[in-house]
Structure 1
Amino acid sequence: MARVSQEHLDARRRQILDGARRCFARNGFHATSMQDVLREAGLSAGAVYRYFRSKDELVAAIALEVFEEVGGAFEAVSRSEDPPPPGRILGEVLRLVLGDGEEERVPPPLLVQVWAETLRSAELAEALDKGYARVREAWVRIVGAYQRRGLMRDDVPADQVARTLIGVAQGFLLQRALFGAGDVTDLENGLLALTSMRPPDDPAGRADGAPEGPPV
């Protein structure tokens, strides 16, 4: 009997996850059955259960993929001594998660459902905590680089800035999930405008207490 290649196994797993992702995005986790996933993926029950024993395992696998990609993307940027502005970083990562094609790779409603599922799943909650900590640590390093270069005031702890920037991205995804509006470019431009604010009465063109230098 011929051995099945790892490439084939990986492709079959990808097929199942993509089918489950479409089902969950369309109908939600709780309204989707494993039979729905089988039909969407075009596979038999035996083929699917070889990889995932339950719907909860599918949910966890999709969530872990997203957490891993997002964490890795931010960590890559954080290793630079001259990171790009916050809006550009968030824009690149959001495009990685959402995708640029007609069909969103990970639709925002699905992300919101994953967040909600962490309230009932200890496994997902642990994964989300680790993912959040990873992204937060990366942002702290990025903000530190801004501060060292004189691009951002250094009297505010980097961790506070990091949590705020994470909140901006989460808020953007929530708005997109609830209202279906908003492009990643809107977020980039909005952050550019916010981070370039200057008090009108500052003759030096600097924010109060901020070091000299171009805005981030």
Structure 2
Amino acid sequence: MARVSQEHLDARRRQILDGAARCFARNGFHATSMQDVLREVDLSAGAVYRYFSGKEELIGAVVGEVLDIIRGAFETALRQSPPPPPDVLMEEILTKVLRPDTGITYEGESGFPRLMIQAWTETLRNDELSALLRDGYTKVREAWVRIVRAYQDAGLMRADVPADSVARTMIAMAQGFAAQQALFGEVTVQSMTEGLRGLMSMGQPRAS
């Protein structure tokens, strides 16, 4: 029997994750069954269960991938000295996670906001997912803290404000953006970053 290449295995796993993410974004976690995922990816049960034991593991893998994308964006920012200002950094991060080619799509658009809203509610009953999100939140907050301290060291931000407080505020802004887009579909990355830029301009001279 011919040996299946690692490239083929990786591509099949990617196919399953992308299909599951589309199903979750479209119908939610509870309304999506493994049969829905099988139909979406057009694979047999045996092919899918070779990679994932069931829906719970699929949910964790999809959410984990989103958190990895966010962490990667922060790692890129931290390699710059100083990092990009908050409005630019927020735009870069949200643009990355909202790319339709991540496989998380809903009606042709990124399904990330819908998926994250569902993940937050799912944590109320799923201890494993709660732990995954808590760990992801902690790592994102730590990354923001390092970025804020870099701003403060460069004299770009007040040093008397706790870096952790700024980090939590920036995370809350991103979470609020996801909630607004998922619920109302009216907010864009540009509008949010423009609003953040306006807040950052307080106390600065008005442009002539």
TM-score by structure 1 length? 0.88
Deviation per residue, 1:118-177 (Å, 9 max, x gap): 222221111111111111111111111111222111111111111101110110001101
Q: Does 1:173 align with 2:186?
A: no
Q: How is 1:106-125 mapped onto 2 (pairs within 5 angstroms)?
A: 106-125=111-130
Unaligned 5+ segments in structure 2 are: 102-106
Partner of 1:14: 14
Q: 1:195 aligns with which of 192, 200, 205?
A: 200
Structure whose alpha-carbon radius of gyration is higher? 1
Q: How many residues align?
A: 201
**Percent identity of equivalent pairs:** 62
Partner of 1:43: 43
- Distance in 2 separating the partners of 1:106 and 1:25: 5
Instruction: Calculate the aligned-residue CA RMSD, in Å.
Output: 1.7
- Distance in 2 separating the partners of 1:100 and 1:7: 23
Could you tell me whether the CA contact under 8 Å between 1:78 and 1:139 is conserved in 2? Answer: no
Q: Shift in Å at residue 68 of structure 1?
A: 1.5
Residue type at the aligned position of 2:99: G
Cα 1:190–1:116 change in 2 (3 A) is same
Cα 1:100–1:61 change in 2 (3 A) is closer
Q: Shift in Å at residue 42 of structure 1?
A: 0.8
Partner of 2:104: none
Could you tell me whether the CA contact under 8 Å between 1:75 and 1:135 is conserved in 2? Answer: no
Residue type at the aligned position of 1:192: R
Partner of 2:59: 59
Which shifted more, 142-151 or 28-37? 142-151
Residue type at the aligned position of 1:172: F
Partner of 1:214: none
Unaligned 5+ segments in structure 1 are: 200-204, 206-216
Residue type at the aligned position of 1:160: S
Residue type at the aligned position of 2:84: P
Partner of 2:151: 146
